[in-house]
Structure 1
Amino acid sequence: MALVLEFLILSLSIFLLFLLIKRNRTPKKACLPPGPVGLPFIGNLHQLGNSNLHEHLWRLSQKHGPLVYLRLGSRPALIVSSAKMAREIMKTRDLEFCSRPFLAATKKLSYNGFDLAFAPYGDYWREVRKICVVHVFSSIRVQSFRSIREDEVSRTIEKISKSALACKPFDLTTEMVSLTSTAISRAAFGKTYEIGGSDTERFLELLVETQAMASSLFLSDYFPCWGWLADKLTGMTYRLEKNFEAFDAFYKRIIDDYLDPNRPKPEREGSTILDILLQIYKDGSFKLQLTLDDIKAILTDIFLAGTDTSAITVNWAMAFLMKNPEAMRKAQEEVRGLFGNKGFVDEDDVQQLSYLKAVRNRTPKKACLPPGPVGLPFIGNLHQLGSSNLHEHLWRLSQKHGPLMYLRLGSRPTLIVSSAKMAREIMKTRDLEFCSRPVMTATNKITYNGLDLALAPYGDYWREVRKICAVHVFSSIRVQSFRSIREDEVSRMIEKISKSALASKPFNLTTEMVSLTSTAISRAAFGKTYEIGGSDTGRFLELLVETKAMASSLFLSDYFPCWGWLADKLTGLTYRLEKNFEEFDAFYKGIIDDNLDPNRPKPEREGSTILDILLQIYKDGSFKLQLTLDHIKAILTDIFLAGTDTSAVTVVWAMAFLMKNPEAMRKAQEEVRGLFGNKGFVDEDDVQQLPYLKAVVKETMRLQPTVPLLIPRETTKECSIGGYEIPTKTLVYVNVWAVGRDPENWESPFEFDPDRFMGSSIDLKGNDFELTPFGAGRRICPGIFIALFTVELSLANLLHKFDWEMPSGMNREDIDMNDVLPGIAPRMRDDLCLVPKAYATGHK
């Protein structure tokens, strides 16, 4: 491996030296327009990593003038930013500026420049332009498609009318894309590809991918000597070829259908664009003999130029009108004043609407993303995520950029939410649009391809498995059925601490709480204990720790789908993930086989464990969703990942806060001892009488939520929030750690003060968005009550039975709560070890 790296570095050095020598021998150029200074070799390419590129270039023009010169790799580039210069370019000197560059993606998609839009200037372009102007885009031809446009708009109005009757929100963005793509496909070849129609998914996927390819950056366009190799290594070349072949096959099927001699004759010859082009193809009397590739290239132009563009313009216009009520009023008064009693406004009527045309002319064409830090080319903002306290780092960025912050992690758009107001918008008001989960390499693998509840994408499967879990696994009756396990495990922990207190030795609360929670969950899950020092402990805990490490690891394939998988293989992450999955799968298999063994001794109570319950459903067959053994393993994985460290870490954080705040410790102990001082054990019924203890838990979860960045959500479609456009499949992280420190919601937000919750109605159940450590909405943690019972019961007994002191030679200030270990549930890097002192009327 080292030898390969040395060879690559040497080769690159020689190549760069060659370029430098060549550059120095190049004769001096003429006087160029002003522009920002570029870097060696790459020029100004690094300055193009902005999602609002047009705005970034405009800012450059404010500094350098209406003509800005850039060097993009080996390509000189000119940016024009004034009407005067635009006239010079596109009218006065049009002939010198009218060609097109040969770029990798557009050249491929246009069949080597056989189209109209991207073909270089020359004889071919002039001939194909004549054909298109006379036969495809003439005013007569455009008018011939009028009935299609009016029919599609009429159908949209009918859909909106139904939505209006039901008083339901209507998704204009999706509908306008459907309208334009359907209208163009009907005009092009007489078929519809509307949302929900036949072949829709295939057609729209191809169209979206083609648009993505046409706007992607190919290094071969800027570094001809070696960029092609980079494009191959990043997978861009393969992705482009694959998309081209798929769209070519799509066109081929349609054209073959048109050329089929047995095809039924259309009502009107030449009624579609494809009809017209095929007639020219067969004719042979034109100066340019069209080929089928020419036809496909022209059709690609029509689809690329005509779908999103018109749809986006209508959406922008409606968004501007909604934000400008006076303009909305004028536009509506104009159209209603002229055609108030008319059922449908047709294209002739539109010519009389001067104010509406003014609205159209003032509408821009680019989505508005939330603000965020400038990223680097290719990797975006990934380099800014290298902090163990990631939630704190993102909070600092939000102080600069706002409560909605946009990042680009490789190829993934990402939204960071850092205020209660925006959290409410995401998890309540717009919950349906933000309730899916991203498919990530590690979590997808360990959940058996998303067969679990917590990490499965939103859809029919998730709704069914959620019903099963809500009714049979996490119901209040089921949670109560495991009460004896929780109380028994806490009681055993108190016995261990009592022995340590007798010896006046420090007690490791961190290790003990992990043991308690993992043992309690394993007993509830399948009736076995895996406590520290118990049988099979090492095996089980090692697997659990490794699974958590995998779930929180960064896999490059999640952010660079084309080539990241190769990096993950080379770094060993893929092998490590596969190995962990196979071992945990074998572990589950052994337990399930044991449970299914007909010779297994009958349990005292049928359905006494979670595995019993899930296996009964598996055997039943009467549920809408037929559970498989993989479903069961995936659900068990959720329970172990979500239920061990999380509850344990919360108790440890609470004890750390209390140790550093003696007055809060005194109040909490006085409360529990005042009510139950002579009682041997504080049970779950008793805990309900301890409001200050519950306030301590809330305050702990405010300052140190167990999962500071809630499990990421993913948008199900493009949507608007806070005045910004959020793309579909955007990763969404709600930073509840930041929300808990928002001075708009909390007085003295950085102080540990449980009294703030005394007499307050704020709870942890997802109704108060200033405090949502368990999430909210459809994706709220289903195990919330198990977690709260475990945390409150453990904490009540720790405070009831013992006074706590620092180990010899240490004081309270030595508890470092800032140095944390990253992971799903970040915890203090150093275990919390305290010296227990038995309270006078303590455990008997």
Structure 2
Amino acid sequence: MVILPLFFLLLLPVFLLFFVPKWRKSKGIRHLPGPPGLPFVGNLHQLDNSDLQRYLWQLSKKYGPIMSLRLGFVPALVISSAKMAKEVLKTHDLVFCSRPALFGQQKLSYNGLDVALSPYNDYWREMRKICTLHLFSSRRVQSARPIREDEVSQMIQNISQLANSGRLTNLSETLMTLTSTIICRVAFGRRYDGEGHESRRFHKLLHECEAVMASFYVSDYFPFMGWFDKLTGMCARLEKNFEGMDLFYQELIDEHLNPNRPESMKGDFIDILLQLEKDGLSSIHLTSNHIKALLMNILLGGTDTSASAVVWTMMELVKHPAVMKKAQEEVRKLIGNRGKVDEDDLQNLPYLKAVIKEGLRLHPPAPLLVPRETIDRCVIEGYEIKPKTLVYVNAWAVGRDPESWENPEEYVPERFLDSSIDFKGQDFQLIPFGAGRRGCPGVLIGITTVELVLSNLLYSFDWELPDGMKIEDIDEAPMPGITVHKKNALCLLARRYLWQLSKKYGPIMSLRLGFVPALVISSAKMAKEVLKTHDLAFCSRPALFGQQKLSYNGLDVALSPYNDYWREMRKICTLHLFSSRRVQSARPIREDEVSQMIKNISQLASSSKLTDLSETLVILTCTIVCRVAFGKRYDGEGHESRRFYKLFHECQAVMASFYVSDHFPLMGWFDKLTGMCARLERNFKDMDLFYEELIDEHRNPDRPESMQDDFIDILLQLEKDGLSSIHLTSNHIKALLMNILLGGTDTSASTVVWTMVELVKHPIVMKKAQEEVRKLIGNRGKVDEDDLQNLPYLKAVIMEGLRLHPPVPLLIPRETIDRCVIEGYEIKPKTLVYVNAWAVGRDPESWENPEEYVPERFLDKSIDYKGQADFQLIPFGGGRRGCPGMLMGTTTVELVLSNLLYSFDWELPDGMKIEDIDSAPMPGLVVHKKNALCLLAKVHKCHEVE
């Protein structure tokens, strides 16, 4: 667009002097509404080409849905509403169905020998017939199905490789390559992917062709100024690209004329057109130039539009995670374990179709469609439209017409579920592909591609933003052009979760992680085999680098290998730390801290401030664990508190970090090179000092009352008495403290947060749970632990939350001790074993409607989560290595949740809807909600703040 201001600068003064008198004489003529322009220039200087459709939409708000512009010497009309679109595309379609002879388009279409840019006449009608009968018929689209499915499968494999290595997927580039390859195979019988010379040449030609087609030519608006396009080099650039494309087309045609052409070229579009030329069945004498002009339409129209539609729709889905999840659930429920979506499935995906329609409504690939030109004079809404008027139908604005759409700026696919509105050109409020005589003839092949691509992307992967990026950081800036792409590439992180792999490869599946063989268990039946039938063979732990360091080389109970030492440490935990008596003795601490939390939330509620439940619950559970284990609390803003939380969060991070040496044992030097070893060592020393200080404080006979009979006190007493077969030392105690701190804090907080997410998303369930608690407690003001046994629905709510959101989804990895055989498969010693509790909780053989949150499923069943008999629900593991602190954890969860539901009614923040709640996880050993759960608490009348 540098050309236009340069042109004005050089020549505007001369033409102003010449045309001002003429312009003044015409002032009295009644015009269509529109912004005032300058003499000679008209409105050209006002147009914002960076986002033209939006600029014209803004103008239409002032001047109306039918608006005039003058672009140099060319009168133009802009249509911006469904009502006016119907007038142009249906009522007066014949008058409006020609095309303007724009310079770049004329050249590249061989002077209008194509179907998209040809003027309306007998020739165009014959070319349209060729396209609809021979190229884009239902039978022809169906015949290209194997190509589409093959290319989509290849794309999924490529993204899987990126996902496996944790790399971002550039969806903008990926989808352009995909749609380009599909079109080339269907039309030319060839593919142009890869890095070879032919591929580079093709893509260079294609991108330059798109650019010169969309460029500004002065002669389009000032017909006698064609010399200016020569002066600026535009003509030479256009001619160069035309010659390059012409040679490219000619080479393809020559290849197809060769009787020994490859099999892939037989029956493609060029083959069909050459056969029509040979047979002479058309009223047009087809020549190579006719074929080349059609190939230009197919290449430019079929590649860009489909890729653009999928990218914009994926952008909206990432911005609306609840919509994405709903679309994924529909696809995954239909496809099950088949591993991919094929075209027969598409008719059974109504929500996916609604998602795509809503994407096309807000982001039509060609927002202004292809410009039209009037043939004759006509009258619309009392305004005279003259012949040779350039007509832009702003499909982007029509999709936002408030007379046609409720809340038009919002992305709401549900609006199409009970509506018959479609994009085939009969419903003028949705016209992404145009309508009437000049509607896109290739809409069927395009939309089939879009549906197949999007459904497979949603079926195969979960999608996340890059680290550090938030939903509000996603930009919607468009890239100007005939087809409007997203200006900045859409780059996302694809995660092919083990559960999805298990659907393809089965509930017992092998992986190889570097040099380490691994096994993934994903069903209740297989979990029972591992955790019960063959428990002894599967009950050891791998010596992972970070975990070994922080557990003092396996001196703890959670990460220790299976041996006599572990059995003794387990006995210490079950008898002295987590027995029913010990859990009961900590009741005053739990009730005290929960009461304090309720007071804090009440203060926020009284001033109508949001409660960050994610942060509140981590602080609560951390404080409970610290008081029970250390006899201290670390809340507030003091130095000790800040130090503690900094150490705690860093310990979680280094524990869950990736260490190359875990999978490539000879490459430990790489962990040193990257600084991972130094970071781990630093945190270990800091945590060791922290534990040592606590132990020293407990050895002091004048220690505070709160430190008497806490976990450290008990362990020191065992050390002193020597009653254990293990000679306990400070390192043994420190290792156990690490287990208690990391295992007891995060898991309880995560469970309550995820359960609250589900309750807010299912208000009827929340109300039922609240009624149960409030009916039992009445006006007593709080729930205490004696009440918990009388709250069966609350327990069901928690179990259902644990089923869908186990705090440690893959449990703690196990390692096989001996060789064993499961389902006829040999499992070798030293195999790393992941039990996917998240997938087990969604096992369709164990659960009806497994993706739905239905606490009632537990009311008439004896299923529980202890991991000894019911292996369809194993959030705390099972068998010998089941979590020893389960009773303490679940008691805390029940007490916290019951008081939150008793004391408050919970609402979403202003402007937020249930479908806006995201369920994106934060990766780690314990999986938290990625984005904090912030809710508005309203104090219920039965609860009185002390």
**Partner SS state of residue 414, structure 2:** helix
1:593 is aligned to 2:274: no
Q: State whether residues 49 and 375 of structure 1, in contact with CA within 8 Å, keep that contact through their aligned partners in structure 2.
A: no
Q: Figure out how many residues of one structure are paired with residues of the other and give that number.
A: 497
Q: Distance in 2 between matches of 1:451 and 1:560?
A: 24
Q: Distance in 2 between matches of 1:834 and 1:757?
A: 27
- In the other structure, the counterpart of 2:27 is 53
Alignment of 1:567-606 (within 5 A): 567-598=228-259, 600-601=260-261, 603=263, 606=266
Q: Which residue identity does 1:824 align to in structure 2?
A: I
Q: Distance in 1 between matches of 2:265 and 2:301?
A: 26
Q: Distance in 1 between matches of 2:479 and 2:422?
A: 28
Q: Structure 1, residues 97-154: CA drift from partner, whole Å, max 9, x if none?
A: xxxxxxxxxxxxxxxxxxxxxxxxxxxxxxxxxxxxxxxxxxxxxxxxxxxxxxxxxx
In the alignment, structure 2 segments of 5+ residues that lack a partner are 506-946
- In the other structure, the counterpart of 2:171 is 509
1:790 is aligned to 2:790: no
Q: Which residue identity does 1:546 align to in structure 2?
A: E
- In the other structure, the counterpart of 2:294 is 635
- In the other structure, the counterpart of 1:523 is 185
Q: Distance in 2 between matches of 1:687 and 1:9?
A: 55
Distance 1:48 1:392, change over 3 A: farther
- In the other structure, the counterpart of 1:442 is 104
Q: Structure 1, residues 751-808: CA drift from partner, whole Å, max 9, x if none?
A: 0110111111001110100001000010010010111011110000000011011112
- In the other structure, the counterpart of 1:310 is none
**Partner SS state of residue 804, structure 1:** strand
**Partner SS state of residue 190, structure 2:** coil
Distance 1:513 1:604, change over 3 A: closer
Match 1:658 to one of 317, 325, 331: 317
Distance 1:803 1:718, change over 3 A: same
- Deviation of 1:622 after TM superposition, in Å, equals 3.0
Q: State whether residues 46 and 376 of structure 1, in contact with CA within 8 Å, keep that contact through their aligned partners in structure 2.
A: no
Distance 1:728 1:593, change over 3 A: same
1:743 is aligned to 2:402: yes
Q: Distance in 2 between matches of 1:775 and 1:376?
A: 32
1:411 is aligned to 2:87: no
- In the other structure, the counterpart of 2:38 is 376
Match 1:807 to one of 439, 457, 466: 466
Q: Which residue identity does 2:304 align to in structure 1?
A: D
Alignment of 1:604-623 (within 5 A): 606=266, 608-623=267-282
Match 2:489 to one of 822, 831, 838: 831
Q: Which residue identity does 2:167 align to in structure 1?
A: K
Q: Distance in 2 between matches of 1:11 and 1:835?
A: 52
Q: Distance in 1 between matches of 2:194 and 2:372?
A: 35
CA RMSD of aligned residues (A): 2.5
Q: State whether residues 163 and 493 of structure 2, in contact with CA within 8 Å, keep that contact through their aligned partners in structure 1.
A: yes
Q: Distance in 2 between matches of 1:707 and 1:51?
A: 38
- In the other structure, the counterpart of 1:703 is 362
Q: Distance in 2 between matches of 1:558 and 1:12?
A: 17
Q: Distance in 2 between matches of 1:647 and 1:689?
A: 21
- Deviation of 1:841 after TM superposition, in Å, equals 2.4
Q: State whether residues 50 and 375 of structure 1, in contact with CA within 8 Å, keep that contact through their aligned partners in structure 2.
A: no
Q: State whether residues 50 and 374 of structure 1, in contact with CA within 8 Å, keep that contact through their aligned partners in structure 2.
A: no
- Deviation of 1:386 after TM superposition, in Å, equals 3.3
**Partner SS state of residue 537, structure 1:** helix
**Partner SS state of residue 743, structure 1:** coil
Q: Distance in 2 between matches of 1:573 and 1:386?
A: 21
- Deviation of 1:809 after TM superposition, in Å, equals 2.0
Q: Which residue identity does 2:250 align to in structure 1?
A: K
Give the TM-score, by structure 2 length. Answer: 0.51
Q: Structure 1, residues 555-606: CA drift from partner, whole Å, max 9, x if none?
A: 010110112x1110111100000000000001111111111124x2463784
Q: State whether residues 418 and 736 of structure 1, in contact with CA within 8 Å, keep that contact through their aligned partners in structure 2.
A: yes
- Of the two, which has the highest radius of gyration? 2
Q: Distance in 1 between matches of 2:9 and 2:274?
A: 57
Distance 1:51 1:754, change over 3 A: farther
Q: Distance in 2 between matches of 1:11 and 1:531?
A: 46
Q: Which residue identity does 2:27 align to in structure 1?
A: L
Alignment of 1:380-459 (within 5 A): 380-459=42-121
Q: Distance in 2 between matches of 1:9 and 1:489?
A: 50
**Partner SS state of residue 763, structure 1:** coil
Q: State whether residues 188 and 265 of structure 2, in contact with CA within 8 Å, keep that contact through their aligned partners in structure 1.
A: no
- Deviation of 1:618 after TM superposition, in Å, equals 1.0
1:553 is aligned to 2:215: yes
Q: Which residue identity does 1:775 align to in structure 2?
A: G
Q: Which residue identity does 1:596 align to in structure 2?
A: L
**Partner SS state of residue 422, structure 2:** coil
Q: Which residue identity does 1:820 align to in structure 2?
A: P
Q: Structure 1, residues 256-285: CA drift from partner, whole Å, max 9, x if none?
A: xxxxxxxxxxxxxxxxxxxxxxxxxxxxxx
Distance 1:509 1:534, change over 3 A: farther
- In the other structure, the counterpart of 1:146 is none
Distance 1:450 1:807, change over 3 A: same
- In the other structure, the counterpart of 1:161 is none
Alignment of 1:29-68 (within 5 A): 49=23, 53-54=27-28
Q: Structure 1, residues 695-745: CA drift from partner, whole Å, max 9, x if none?
A: 010000000111000101100111111110011010010001001111111
Distance 1:777 1:44, change over 3 A: closer
Q: Distance in 1 between matches of 2:16 and 2:371?
A: 35
Q: Which residue identity does 2:100 align to in structure 1?
A: P
Alignment of 1:297-376 (within 5 A): 368-376=30-38
Q: State whether residues 715 and 729 of structure 1, in contact with CA within 8 Å, keep that contact through their aligned partners in structure 2.
A: yes
Give the TM-score, by structure 1 length. Answer: 0.57
Q: Distance in 1 between matches of 2:172 and 2:84?
A: 34
